[in-house]
Structures are given as structure tokens and as C-alpha cells.
A = this chain, B = another copy of it.
Amino acid sequence: MKERYFTDERKPKKRIIEQVSIDCVIFGFYDNQLKVLLLKFKGLDAWALPGGFVFHNESIEEAANRILEDRTGIRNIYLEQFYVFGDKNRQFREVHEEVMYKNSIHPQDNHWLFQRFISIGFYALVDFSKVTPELDDISEICGWYDIEDMPLLSFDHPQIFQKALETLRSSLDTKLVGFNLLPEMFTIGELQSLYETILGKKLIRTNFQRKILSLEILERIEKKYSGGSHKAPYLYRMDVAKCEVFLKTHF
């Protein structure tokens, strides 16, 4: 059930924690490119990360999951907080006003959304092939953009995105989060391509293969992938239990 936030009232309709928001950076991987899910506000040339607020009766993690579902239709994915954006002047009256006008709302001067907000950043990793973004009622686009070629974001969302990307990079090896961006079964080649785009550099194929397999967190599926006019690679599946053991013993 989607909630309507943009009323013209001084207080939000549903009880939320005031002056606290959540913004989500949703990463996907497709066509050998790292993608991010962005929303475009109806009738405006303004882009943003999906965000929202925390209800009184939910944890911030529950809130982040709900917000994601409300605003993009995506649910049940890897989600983790990564940073709090708490600048003194973190308020965005102008953008909010524009959005509200376009939605036929004429806010009071002390509308609750005009306050200074502290935003908790979450990043999400999804299996691109399993996701079909859905529009909410204040957006006209909800779609994937190559991180190398994305529209300029409103608010302070460029910084939030940047920090999320840095966190993703440094978590690749230490938390092995990359697998969340791939389908359940994948080839080492696909995994390498994922690592290369996230890290922004080429890796030597044979060494990458040796390294990844030496972690002993992958299970080789007997069935082979087919399609290319060349030797068929093995398919692998990540073994969650082994992965946890590995992380515990190495970090």
C-alpha cells in the first residue's frame, strides 16, 4: 500500500520520524555495465534516488525495504546502510516546491518537508534479470542508468551516489557482495566482468579464476552454459554457508 507524503500539511499524514529520511542507491548489472535505478519526477527535469521516511513502528532497515518497494516495486533484496548525510543546511525547499506544484499541492510556508533532514544512505544490490521497476505516482520514469552515463541528480544525491559506489567497491573483496548482482548461476567470466566494471580496471583472466576458485565458496554445477561459438564454460553457484565461513575466518 503506497502512502501519500506530499500533502500540503504542516505534519505528515502518517506518523513518521521527523527530519529523518532514507535514500537508496540500487545497483544492477547488465550488459557488462553497472547500472543504478533512478526516478524522474513527473513533469520536471529532476532526477533522484528513491527515498522516503521512517514510520514509528518500523526499524530503519524495514523502512528502507518498504521504501524500495513503494517507489520501485522491488522487494526482498540485499540492502545495507552505508553512511549518514547530516549537513547543517541539508534542506531542499526549492526542489520540493517544484515537485509539489507539479502534483497540484500548494504547501504552507512551514511545510514539514522544508525542514532540514538527516538522511541515512542504503545501498541495494539486485539481480537485474529478476527486477521489473514499477512507477509510483509522483514519478514518470523509474529506470536503469549506466553509472558512466546518468542524468545529473537533484538534492545532494550525487554525493550519496558517489559514497555508495565507493562503499560497494571496498566491500567487493571484504564482504563478497558482488554475487548479489548476478543471477543464481553464473560463469567465472561473468563474475570477472562484474568485478572489472565495479573496480574500473581490467583483471588478468587466469589469475582471477585461480583467485576466486581458491576462496572455495563456489559450487560447480555440472550442467554447462551454451550459446557462444567456443568452449562452454562451467556454471557456478555461490555457497552461502561456505561464504560465511570464509568471511568469518578471514576478516
> Which A residues contact B (CB, under 8 angstroms)?
17-20, 54, 56-63, 81, 83-84, 86-88, 116, 118, 120, 170, 174, 251
Contacts and interface: CB of A to CB of B under 8 A. Distances in A.
Contacts of A86: 54, 59-61, 63, 120
The winner among A63, A86, A251 for most chain B CB atoms within 10 A is A86
Interface of A is mostly: mixed
26 contacts: A17-B18, A17-B19, A17-B20, A17-B116, A17-B118, A18-B18, A18-B19, A19-B20, A20-B20, A54-B118, A56-B116, A57-B88, A58-B88, A59-B86, A59-B87, A60-B84, A60-B86, A60-B118, A61-B86, A62-B88, A63-B86, A81-B84, A84-B84, A84-B120, A86-B120, A170-B174
Contacts of A116: 17, 56
A88 B118 CA distance: 18
7 closest Cβ pairs, A-B complex: A60-B86, A59-B88, A17-B19, A59-B87, A59-B86, A84-B120, A58-B88
Contacts of A56: 116
Given A18-B18, A60-B84, A170-B174, 6 more contacts: A20-B118, A58-B88, A59-B86, A60-B118, A61-B86, A63-B86
Nearest to A169: B251
A81 B18 CA distance: 21
A92 to B, nearest CB: 16
Nearest to A86: B60
A251 B169 CA distance: 9
Listed residue (A60, A88, A251) with the most chain B CB atoms within 10 angstroms of its CB: A88
Nearest to A90: B59
Contacts of A120: 84, 86, 118
B84 A251 contact: no
A57 B60 CA distance: 24
Nearest to A121: B84
Contacts of A61: 86
